[in-house]
Structure formats: structure tokens, C-alpha cells
A and B are shown apart, each in its own frame.
Chain A
Amino acid sequence: MNMNGGQALMKALENEGVDILFGLPGGAILPVYDPLIDSSIRHVLVRHEQGAGHMAEGYAHATGRPGVAMVTSGPAATNIVTPLCDAYMDSIPMVVVTGQVPYAAIGTDAFQECDTTGITMSVTKHNYLVTEAADIPQVIHDAFYIATTGRPGPVLVDIPKDIVDPNNPRSAMEWYTPDSHDLPGYLPNQAGDAELIRQAAKLICEAERPVLYTGGGILKSRGAEALLELAEMTGIHVVTTLMNRGGFPDDHPLCLGMPGMHGNYTAVTAMQEADLLIALGARFDDRVTGKVGEFAPLAKIVHVDIDSAELGKVRRPDVAIQGDCRVVIEELVKALKEMGGSEAQPDRNQWRSRISGWQERFPLTYEQSKGDELLKPQYVLEQLRDSTPSDTIVASGVGQHQMWTSQYWKFNHPYTWVNSGGLGTMGFAIPAAIGAKAGRPDRMVWAVDGDGCFQMTAQELVTAATEGFPIKVALINNAYLGMVRQWQEMFYEERYSEVYLTRDVPDYKMWAEALGCVGLRVESPEEVGPAIAQANEINDQPVVVEFRCEAEENVFPMVPAGMSNSDVVVDPSQRDQPR
């Protein structure tokens, strides 16, 4: 079938199962926006290209399917660099199509030209500059394959205008449906080595104080069920990193919750004291390990990851298994069953009672507000958690509110937590929540945002209002770039430098209304419940609830940067407790 490159691009995207595209048009990508009108793919018009990228990420987080964004050249391409890097750090499958100046103009400093593939080389899993219209079907097919297989990640496809412009002879091509990939350097491997899996099973059967250290690879590999089986069969406790909240149910008796810099005491300490860490799709990030040399000093390490470059990158494993987390866990369960299943596990009662002792002495805690003190953000999050359905999808920004959300929420379902872990991108919450809602319209979607973050991407609430994505935003207004304020309080002798945002400017309620949302403001604990209930009732408009919170509240526990996890600082009320 004869067609032009622009039509081929739309057809190729349709063939990959794309149902929604987040984007904003401009000169170089203009020819593609014409066949878009006749396509089955829904387009969501964003207000800033960063929003398009984070929406694509939110969609991918919530559905597991690749998110897709399309923007023009130059400034639009540079605007989407942050989401690309975010997706790269958090292994999010995403395909971004950028317009480029005509092929012959590349390198001439043409209007809105930038070296998009050069700029994005280090923040994408792979990228393409397509030079011929005839290459479009194959490149798009390969781009989706690379984005979604192996360790997932973002792929960028840069398309010069002339090969999609029907008025240019260079856009003429004959359609074909690619049915294979010619990628001799890309052969993702799923299965783990059987002998290594047996060795790992043996270490598990010998361990007295094992901990399952589970990361984002569990969710990426759709391995939550397999993990549950492994944990229940062996009776081994599970810590869920920031990237795997929801990958193991918080309400499960074996769940210890989040480890790391702001992890709970028990998760941090159990890893420190463990004699075996079974790391599944986790990457020993510095926010988890604290001072690496003093991390889990007594532990042997079994490390399972799809990406062999993660094995031994930070901590040398005793058994390193390259493979897909789900596939390897299933094989590990089989190997353990052959060794006798739960019967073959040693008596770990002593370890269990140490764990429950920590849980009793060091639960998450905060001091409730008194009199006319402002709201405690933790209280707001507890209320929000308790008055929303358990499968609510929660997206968060970056800062104190993010840590409180991860700490206080009860994640009992996979794919309900959408956050920027590796890059820590302020402004992620609102567009990511929109993308999640686009992917899961059946679910309630709340964004928990900071006042600093909100001001970075609030304009996307216009997208939410006009495109019909009734997300809800819990805005934790603490008048500060709170996380930075906390560091200045604790590590810079309370010398506050450029962290105060002001309490009343902007007026968030009026701003929300101006953006096409319902705006609510909450100042006292009694108003919290009713405001959430009111927001939950609204399904035809986005809602922003501003919670005016205490400014000086700090996130605890905390392992100060560069310190050992054994030096975790607990809440002031727990500092006399024996460790």
C-alpha cells in the first residue's frame, strides 16, 4: 500500500497497540498531526511537553504498557528530556516521538533544530534518528520492542519533517508490516541459570536471618504473585523499596515496608542484621544502603536482576543470577520445593521475635497537632488512606510529602504507587496522575503533591480538566521546600537558605479554580475527612484540596546521607528506646 511517512507512523503506532498519545504539536511534527485526525489513537493535548513525558510514564506505571508521547523539535524535545531521564532511572517503558528539521537541514542550525539524539543519548535506553520514510515501520516496531523487553526503558525516535510531509517526495513509501527485529546486539535473556538458582535455594535453606529485599523489578516483571508464594512458602520477611511499594501487600504479616533513608526502623534494621539478603530486582541504591561499606555487614547476597550490569555494581553478590525476576522467582520456588519446601526452612523464631520487638518499639509515629497548630501532614495522609478505596492509585511529587505518602499509605495492590524514585523529579505527581488515570479510568487516582512541586507542573490540571481526567490532588502546603528545609535544619545548623515559599501566595484554591478544577482548602483536623469525602464524590472535574500543614514537621526515621544504616535517627519520642 502506498502512503506517506506520516501515515505510516500513525499506522505503526496503531499496530503496536497504542491507544493514547500525550503530546503537543509544532512546526517539525506538523505533518504527523494531520493523519492523527483519522487515527484510532486518542491524543491528549498537554500544556507543557514535560507534562506529556510524565503522563506517558504515569500511564506505563499504572498499566505496564508502554507510554507514548509525541512532541515537536528543538525546545519541545529539550522540554521532554527530564521525563526521559526519569523513565531511564526508573526503568519505565516509554516511546517518545520527536519532530526534527528536514533531513537536509540537519546540522545547519535551522529554526528549532537541536541535536535531539545527541542530547538524549545518555538518558534513553536507545534512540533513533530516522533518515528514510521506508524505515519508519521497522524503527517503530524495534523501538517498542526495546522499550518493553529486558530492563524496560525509554526509547526516542527522532523524525525529520521531510520524510513525513506528503508534499515532499521523500515521504513516499510502501507500507509493510515488520514481523521481526534485526538487532544482533540486543538479545534480552529471561531465564536464570538453573545451577545458580539451586545455589540460591541452598543459601536460603541455611539462612537464620534472611530478608527478601525487593525492588522495582518485581513490578516490572509482573512478579508480585510469585514473590508472595516465595515469601509464604519460606516465611521470610519482605522489604519493599520505594520502587516496589505495592509489589507485596503492606498488610501481610511478613511485610516490613520501605527500607532506606526514610524507611521504617524495622525494615532498615532487619537488613542491617540479616545474614542473607535476597535482592530481587533491586539495585542497592545509595538511598537504600546508606554508607555502602557498612550496609548489611553480616549478610551474604543473592542478587537477581534482568540487567547483568546491576550484579556486582555496588555490592559483590555471593550468588548473582541474571534473569527476569518473575521467571527466576518461579524457578527458585520450584528448587526450594524440591529441597523440601517450608519443611526445609530452619527454625527462625528467634529472628522473628527480634523483628516483632523492633516493630513494637519503633512503629512509625508523629505527634498529633494541638490547639490551633496547623495540620500534621502524616494525619492528612492517614485520613486520605483510610477514606479511599484500597486499590486507589497514588502518584506523588518529590520531597517530604513523598516520603510520608510512601510511609503512611497501605499499598496492598501492585501498580497503585506512581512515583519518581531514581531521578527524584519535582513536578512529577500531577502529570503522572493524569497518565495513570488515562490508563486506568476505572480507578480513583489521587496525586499527593508538595507546594513546591505543585508550582512546577500545575498547568497540567488544565489538561486534566479539558481532556476529562478527574484526578484529585492532595496538596500538602507546608510553605516550604520542606525536604531541603529539613536538611538545613538538621545538617546546616538551622541556617535556612532559599527554602521558604510563602504560605498564601499563590492562593491555591483560586488557582485550582482558574485551572478548571474544584478548589478546596482545609485548615483544621475536623475538616480533613469531610473535604476528602467531598473530593471523592466529584467525578466530572479534577479537584485540588489544599491542606495547610505544619511547616516544621520532619520526616523520621532518617539515615543522614553518607551515614551507616545502623545510625538511623528515629522519631524524637523513640530516642530512649533500647535498640
Chain B
Amino acid sequence: MTAADGGGTTTLVVRVENKAGVLARVAGLFARRGFNIESLAVAPTDDERFSRLTIVVGVDAAPMEQVVKQLDKLVNVVDIRELNPAASVERELMMVTVRADPEIRGQILDLVRIFQATVLNVGYDEIMVSLTGSPSRVDDFEDLLRPYGIVDVQRTGKVALPKLVKAAPDPLAP
């Protein structure tokens, strides 16, 4: 099972101090407990003192609680959110180069249109496209392209934010 199917995985959104060595501390904590990180995305936040890590790990619940608590103890970790896939919006970016001899290029462009992907670069027998979407949609696109011959593929790992509240508060409530 992979992170992309969402099976047996947890997404942690970890805000850390933007300092040298912090990623090693976080990654080391997982490594020490034998947990494999399925994907990891790191970027500075709007406040430059902090970075946000989106970590997808494949584990069952009990040791996860322990990892979260241990992560929280790291001096450079500011806060942690565990995101349930059903309650969050997840996105991932994929760049992929596919074999595309002129006679089949049209078929690939059909898929690009259906998925609303973007053509980034075209070669005489290859084409490079990108897609941003939910991890499962990106999986589907990758699966559909595979028979044509994937030359190169790069996925960012997912990033996520919690879903927003739909019902506005009652203005008459006390």
C-alpha cells in the first residue's frame, strides 16, 4: 500500500523553526523507530522564522501517537497537526516525461485535456506534462500514461490543509 491510496497512512503537518539541521532531527526521529516516510514536502511559511513539513507516514495508530509526542518534544518543533484525509484538502504536483512519437502524441494530448494537465515541453518523440491534483487523481493520470512509456517522473509529495467550516455562525447567537 502506498501513501497515495491513503491506506494505513497518516499526514502530519509540522511547523518547525526555519534553522539548519531541523529536518535531520525530524527525519531521525522517524528513522529511530523504524518508520518509513512515504513522502515529505518542506517549504518556508508566510512567517520566515518557520517552515512547514508535510509528512506522510505509513503506520498504525498506537506508535503514531508516540511519534507525535516525541516530535512535539523536539525543541525546534513548534506545533503539529495530524490531518485526516477526509477532513483535509490535499494536493500534489507531478511532472512527467512520456514517450510520444508523433503518431501517438494526440492520444496523450487527449489525456492531458481530460485531466486538465499542462504541457510543459515537447521533444521530437517525448512530451513533458505536469498535473496538480489530489494524490489519487495524480495516481490515475500516472497509471494512464504508463503504457505509453514513462521516461521520467517527479512527484512533490502531498501538501495539505484542513477543510474549512461550511456553515456560517448564526449571527443572532449570543
Do A and B truly interact? yes
Contacts beyond the supplied A121-B25, A122-B28: 18 A-B pairs with Cβ under 8 Å: A117-B21, A118-B24, A121-B24, A121-B28, A122-B32, A125-B75, A146-B75, A183-B75, A184-B49, A184-B50, A185-B16, A185-B74, A185-B75, A308-B69, A308-B72, A309-B69, A309-B72, A312-B65
- A150 (CB) vs chain B CBs: closest residue: B73
CB contacts under 8 Å to B, within A112-169, are 117-118, 121-122, 125-126, 129, 146
| B118 close to chain A: CB less than 8 A | no
| B116 close to chain A: CB less than 8 A | no
In the complex, A7 Cα to B100 Cα: how many Å?
Answer: 67
In the complex, A308 Cα to B72 Cα: how many Å?
Answer: 10
Contact B66 A129 (CB under 8 A): no
Max chain B C-beta neighbours (<10 A), residue from A146, A185, A186, A313: A185
| A382 close to chain B: CB less than 8 A | no
Q: How many A-B residue pairs have CB under 8 A?
A: 38
Q: Which residues of B contact A117 (CB under 8 A)?
A: 21
Interface residues of B, dominant DSSP: mixed
In the complex, A185 Cα to B17 Cα: how many Å?
Answer: 8
- B32 (CB) vs chain A CBs: closest residue: A122
Least distance between B30 CB and chain A CB atoms (Å): 12
Known: A129-B20, A309-B69. A185 touches B32 (CB 8 A): no
| A330 close to chain B: CB less than 8 A | no
Closest A-B pairs by Cβ, 8 of them: A309-B69, A185-B78, A126-B75, A186-B75, A185-B77, A184-B78, A185-B76, A309-B70
- CB contact between B66 and one of A126, A186, A313 (< 8 Å): that residue: A313
- Point out residues on B near A: beta carbons under 8 Å: 16-17, 20-21, 24-25, 28, 32, 49-50, 65-66, 69-70, 72-79
Q: Which residues of B contact A122 (CB under 8 A)?
A: 28, 32
In the complex, A344 Cα to B167 Cα: how many Å?
Answer: 49
Least distance between A138 CB and chain B CB atoms (Å): 13
11 cross-chain CB contacts under 8 A: A118-B24, A121-B24, A121-B25, A121-B28, A125-B75, A129-B21, A146-B75, A185-B75, A185-B79, A307-B73, A312-B65
Contact bitstring A178-196, B, C-beta under 8 A = 1, else 0:
0000011110000000000
- A118 (CB) vs chain B CBs: closest residue: B24
Q: Which residues of B contact A309 (CB under 8 A)?
A: 66, 69-70, 72-73
Contact bitstring A556-575, B, C-beta under 8 A = 1, else 0:
00000000000000000000
- A313 (CB) vs chain B CBs: closest residue: B66
- B50 (CB) vs chain A CBs: closest residue: A184
In the complex, A410 Cα to B17 Cα: how many Å?
Answer: 48
Q: Which residues of A contact B66 (CB under 8 A)?
A: 309, 313
Least distance between B81 CB and chain A CB atoms (Å): 14
- B79 (CB) vs chain A CBs: closest residue: A185
Least distance between B37 CB and chain A CB atoms (Å): 17
In the complex, A118 Cα to B65 Cα: how many Å?
Answer: 25
Q: Which residues of B contact A308 (CB under 8 A)?
A: 69, 72
Q: Which residues of B contact A312 (CB under 8 A)?
A: 65
Known: A121-B28, A126-B75, A307-B73. A184 touches B65 (CB 8 A): no
Q: Which residues of A contact B24 (CB under 8 A)?
A: 118, 121
Contact bitstring A276-317, B, C-beta under 8 A = 1, else 0:
000000000000000000000000000000011100110000
In the complex, A118 Cα to B28 Cα: how many Å?
Answer: 10
In the complex, A396 Cα to B118 Cα: how many Å?
Answer: 69
Least distance between A534 CB and chain B CB atoms (Å): 49
Q: Which residues of B contact A183 (CB under 8 A)?
A: 75
Least distance between A18 CB and chain B CB atoms (Å): 21
Contact A184 B21 (CB under 8 A): no
Q: Which residues of A contact B79 (CB under 8 A)?
A: 185
In the complex, A307 Cα to B16 Cα: how many Å?
Answer: 20
In the complex, A306 Cα to B27 Cα: how many Å?
Answer: 25
Max chain A C-beta neighbours (<10 A), residue from B16, B28, B49, B69: B69
Least distance between A375 CB and chain B CB atoms (Å): 44
Known: A121-B25, A121-B28, A122-B28. A184 touches B69 (CB 8 A): no
In the complex, A509 Cα to B16 Cα: how many Å?
Answer: 56
Least distance between A180 CB and chain B CB atoms (Å): 15
CB contacts under 8 Å to B, within A397-431, are none
Least distance between B69 CB and chain A CB atoms (Å): 4
Q: Which residues of A contact B76 (CB under 8 A)?
A: 185
Contact A184 B17 (CB under 8 A): yes
Q: Which residues of B contact A186 (CB under 8 A)?
A: 75
- A142 (CB) vs chain B CBs: closest residue: B75
Least distance between B34 CB and chain A CB atoms (Å): 14
In the complex, A508 Cα to B153 Cα: how many Å?
Answer: 68
In the complex, A308 Cα to B69 Cα: how many Å?
Answer: 7
Least distance between A536 CB and chain B CB atoms (Å): 44
Least distance between B168 CB and chain A CB atoms (Å): 32
